[in-house]
Amino acid sequence: MSQSHPASFFAPPHPSERRTAQRHAWLRAQGLDFARAEAIPGDASGRRYWRLPADGLILMDAAPPEDPLPFLRVQRRFLRLGLRVPRVHGAHLGQGFLLLEDLGSRDLKAALDAGEDPDTWMAQAMTIIIDLQAGSRRQNPRPPLPSFDAAHIGTELSLFRDWYLARHLGLVLGPETQTRLHSCFARLTVNALREPQTWVHRDFHARNLICLEDGELGVLDFQDAVRGPVSYDLASLLWDRYWDWGKQRRRDWAIRFHQTAQRRGLPLRGQGDFLRDLGRMGLQRNLKILGIFCRLAYRDGKEEYLQFLPRFRAYVWEAMKADPELRPYQADFAPWISSPCVP
């Protein structure tokens, strides 16, 4: 008499189990033991990381649809410019595994949380941006970095409309409001495209800067680098999710950046134009971030990102009030951004 079995008895391994088996097997082939690995808290991407403390290495698991190739391409370019990025000690592009140099676990956020001098660290971080921009003028890589073009900017700004306005606030915009919002987005897009273009890290903030033992800063999470506006990385650094440095301090740092970059021969616009461009770039990026954080919360279940919305709403409203050319949009943005009733 035949004996029946539960369907699960013959079920294939779950995809996560197959991925775990691949990870363990690949590490064994490198002479490493995953049993000693320590998981590193994840970021907003689909990549996962483990620290191998005994070996001084980091395992990056970029399972499909993630692709480690952009990381490798940018890593080589940044390394040639003298930036302190992790060296690659092993790779399996087909499976999406990389073995990277471990630069350490103490990031710039930790240093600032410990009360270390922000002026010293911010000066060093701004120098890295300038080094990247100055070095990129001497490079002509193939393939070139992707361009931060109008389509790319539009995709970023649509996150604010689709995930912050529509999903988070539950708004359905009327035709006239949609037209004004599109006009605001178009103004920000034109401004970004008329800035001098350079290499852009694109996620240049305190959690992606590692305080090295020699006092320098290492750079992480650069795989999404593009060719784009000269003010983009500085905007990422100055409008931070963890600290609101205040308008005057941001302005002082921006002026210092502008002066240093000009001394290095970078083709920046005059100081007034640069500060205006920086404010608009910060606005564009902070609108995008409001959308991204809402998408992470509602699509990916990462509700902890909602705690940062008030800070970025304040950044957006500050920029709207500071720029005379953006004042026509204040009446629309006020109930979305500055009202005390906004969730």
Interhelix angle 271-298/150-159, rounded to 10 degrees, is 50
CB 107 within 8 A of CB 208: yes
Residue carrying the six token digits 């890589």: 141
- The pLDDT of 171-199, averaged and rounded, is 97
Q: Count CB-CB contacts under 10 A for residue 55.
A: 18
Whether 60 shows a pLDDT value over 80: the answer reads: yes
pLDDT in tens, 24-53: 999 999 999 888 889 998 666 678 999 999
Pick the CATH number of 7-101 from 3.30.200.20, 3.90.1300.10, 3.30.1330.90, 3.10.129.10: 3.30.200.20
Helices (H), ranges, the chain: 15-29, 69-80, 108-113, 118-136, 150-159, 175-194, 232-238, 247-263, 271-298, 309-322, 330-337
> Residue 125 corresponds to which tokens in the numbers above?
């971080």
> d(Cα 24, Cα 47) in Å, to the nearest integer?
16
Q: In the structure, what pLDDT confidence band is assigned to residue 12 with cuts at 50, 70 and 90?
A: low
Same CATH fold assignment for domains 7-101 and 108-337: no
pLDDT at 1: 45
* Residue spans per domain, the chain: 7-101, 108-337
Least confident window among 2-6, 123-127, 265-269, 318-322 = 2-6
Q: What is the pTM of this model?
A: 0.91
pLDDT at 2: 45
Q: In the structure, what pLDDT confidence band is assigned to residue 116 with cuts at 50, 70 and 90?
A: very high
The contacts of residue 51 (CB under 8 Å, 6+ apart) are 37, 38, 40, 57, 58, 59, 102, 105
Write down the CATH superfamily of domain 108-337: Aminoglycoside phosphotransferase (APH), C-terminal lobe (3.90.1200.10)
Share of the chain above pLDDT 70, in %: 94
Q: What is the mean pLDDT of the chain?
A: 92
- The pLDDT of 142-156, averaged and rounded, is 93
What is the three-class DSSP state of 81?
coil
Whether 6 shows a pLDDT value over 80: the answer reads: no
Whether 340 shows a pLDDT value over 90: the answer reads: no
pLDDT at 42: 67
pLDDT in tens, 248-296: 999 999 999 999 999 999 999 999 999 999 999 999 999 999 999 999 9
- The pLDDT of 64-92, averaged and rounded, is 93
Whether 111 shows a pLDDT value over 90: the answer reads: yes
- The pLDDT of 97-108, averaged and rounded, is 96
pLDDT in tens, 187-243: 999 999 999 999 999 999 999 999 999 999 999 999 999 999 999 999 999 999 999
pLDDT in tens, 324-336: 999 999 999 999 9
Handedness of CA 82, 223, 36, 106 (dihedral sign): positive
Whether 10 shows a pLDDT value over 90: the answer reads: no
